[in-house]
């Protein structure tokens, strides 16, 4: 089986890592990096430390408006698919790179497969929500991480090609937790005591592109009962500087450059609590038994909230501060996102489907 995998942004490198290492044992993979993320700290660091093979193609699209960025990717991916003629195009998550891959692939021959299918925030203001819905509806094979995500697809009329496989990020973190504990000395570098700091990330457009919302978040984090370590996404740094809030943020919080995956996992595992608007970080906190405060009004990862390990606080200063102070005694934790074998299940399902494909479609 030949597979073209499309990635472009930080979380997609981490997801593709899990699948790629299984896929490459018996099958051919051509890796396409759209170049949506290009800074060393947002891209190369993951390839180097996770040993992800060098991309076969890098489209180098860089940053732009949604339309321009997606269009440039679409054009590049189409050319690659025409040259490579893969059996499958594998897409991850909900970024503009995902959408471009879906549109390019669905108009050509290969099977289109979407990892992290069926997730919804039901907030159409989010660019990612549009990307997810369109990608799911353009896909032949859908890999939801949970029962609830599979139900969502069915409710939207998608009845074929759904395979609940669990979450590929769970596969990755099961491997990374121990490695990070042995290899990362990140806790020394940030000069905090284990279990005595809050780890925070902020990059969601709704939070960064609204000065009032961003200021509320910075103020709330500044009042946290423990030191706050904030590895800063370039988008957020740019906005803080633009709004004249950079000095305040760096004076009140321990703002550091984005870190590699193993260092981030070490921070996450060693923190008392996490305050984030990231999708991936909510799940990773759940996997590592770190209570999470999510600075959004809704989440796609509903099971983390239903189980009490995650709480939605929007950008409400009182709520953020209250939840960062609240004692949490959490013991019971369900396992809604599989058993850490999502990657193998994805590869097996794809291979089986390719073998079963009628000759006329091959």
Which partner in ligand UD1, ligand UDP, none is near 264 (CB below 5 to 8 A by kind)?
ligand UDP
Which partner in ligand UD1, ligand UDP, none is near 38 (CB below 5 to 8 A by kind)?
ligand UD1
- State whether residue 203 is helix, strand or coil: coil
Cβ contact 220:321 at 8 Å: yes
Between CA 327 and CA 308 the distance in angstroms is 12
Whether 203 sits among the annotated catalytic residues: the reply is yes
DSSP 34-62: --SS-SGGGTHHHHHHHTPPPPSEE----
Query: Does 270 engage in binding with ligand UDP (CB under 6 A)?
Result: no
**166 or 231: CB nearest ligand UDP:** 231
Query: Does 261 engage in binding with ligand UDP (CB under 6 A)?
Result: yes
How far, CA to CA in Å, does 231 sit from each of 209, 234, 242, 243, 255?
Answer: 18, 10, 18, 19, 6
Helix (H) or strand (E) holding 143: strand 141-143
User: Phi and psi for 341 in degrees, rounded to 5?
Assistant: -120, 30
How far, CA to CA in Å, does 5 sit from each of 28, 146, 198?
Answer: 10, 22, 35
Query: Does 234 engage in binding with ligand UD1 (CB under 6 A)?
Result: yes
- Mask for 287-316, x = binds ligand UD1 (CB under 6 A): ------------------------------
Q: In this chain, which stretch among 217-225, 256-264, 286-294, 343-351 interacts with ligand UDP, using CB under 6 A?
A: 256-264
Sheet of 111-115: strand order equals 57-58, 28-33, 2-7, 88-92, 111-115, 141-143
Q: In this chain, which stretch among 78-86, 190-198, 216-224, 275-283 interacts with ligand UDP, using CB under 6 A?
A: 275-283
**261 or 350: CB nearest ligand UDP:** 261
Instruction: Find the catalytic residue in 33, 114, 163, 203.
Output: 203
The single residue among 10, 213, 239, 266 that binds ligand UD1, judged by CB under 6 A, is 10
**Residue 289, by phi and psi: left (phi above 0), alpha (psi -120 to 50) or beta?**
left
- Mask for 15-54, x = binds ligand UD1 (CB under 6 A): ---------------------xxxx--x------------
User: Phi and psi for 11 in degrees, rounded to 5?
Assistant: -65, -25
Which of the residues 12 through 71 are near ligand UDP (CB under 6 A)? 14
Question: Minimum distance between the CB of residue 323 and ligand UD1, rounded to whole angstroms?
Answer: 22
Which of the residues 192 through 211 are near ligand UD1 (CB under 6 A)? 203
Query: Does 264 engage in binding with ligand UDP (CB under 6 A)?
Result: yes
Q: In this chain, which stretch among 73-81, 135-143, 276-284, 306-314 interacts with ligand UDP, using CB under 6 A?
A: 276-284
DSSP 211-254: HHHHHHHHHHHHT-SS-EEEEPPHHHHHHHHHTT-HHHHHHHSE
Give contact residues for ligand UDP (rule: CB under 6 A): 10-11, 14, 201, 203, 231, 258-261, 264, 278-281, 284
């Amino acid at each position: 089986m030949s597979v073209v995998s499309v990635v472009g942004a930080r979380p997609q490198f981490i997801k593709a890592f899990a699948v790629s290492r299984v896929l490459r044992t018996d099958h051919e993979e051509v890796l396409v990096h759209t170049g949506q993320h290009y800074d060393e700290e947002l891209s190369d660091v993951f390839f180097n430390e996770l040993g992800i093979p060098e991309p076969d193609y890098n489209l180098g699209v860089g940053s732009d408006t949604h339309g321009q960025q997606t269009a440039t990717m679409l054009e590049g991916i189409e050319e690659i698919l025409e040259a490579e003629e893969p059996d499958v195009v594998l897409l991850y998550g909900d970024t503009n790179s995902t959408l471009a891959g879906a549109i390019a692939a669905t108009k050509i021959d290969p099977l289109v497969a979407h990892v992290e299918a069926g997730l919804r925030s039901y907030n159409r203001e989010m660019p990612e929500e549009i990307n997810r819905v369109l990608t799911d509806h353009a896909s032949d094979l859908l890999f939801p991480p949970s029962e609830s995500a599979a139900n969502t697809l069915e409710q939207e009329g998608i009845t074929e090609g759904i395979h609940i496989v669990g979450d590929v990020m769970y596969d990755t973190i099961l491997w990374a937790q121990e490695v990070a504990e042995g290899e990362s000395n990140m806790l020394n570098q940030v000069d905090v005591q284990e279990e005595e700091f809050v780890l925070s990330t902020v990059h969601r457009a709704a939070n960064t592109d609204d000065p009032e919302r961003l200021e509320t978040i910075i103020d709330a984090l500044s009042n946290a009962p423990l030191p706050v370590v904030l590895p800063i996404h370039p988008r957020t740094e740019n906005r803080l500087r633009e709004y004249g809030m950079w000095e305040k943020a760096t004076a009140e919080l321990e703002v550091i450059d984005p870190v590699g995956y193993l260092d981030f996992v070490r921070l996450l595992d060693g923190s008392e609590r996490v305050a984030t608007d990231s999708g991936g970080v909510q799940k990773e906190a759940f996997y590592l038994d770190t209570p999470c405060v999510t600075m959004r009004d809704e989440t796609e990862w509903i099971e983390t909230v239903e189980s009490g390990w995650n709480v939605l606080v929007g950008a409400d200063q009182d709520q953020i501060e209250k939840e960062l102070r609240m004692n949490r005694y959490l013991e019971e934790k369900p396992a809604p996102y599989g058993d850490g074998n999502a990657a193998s299940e994805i590869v097996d399902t794809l291979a089986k489907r390719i073998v079963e494909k009628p000759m006329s479609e091959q």
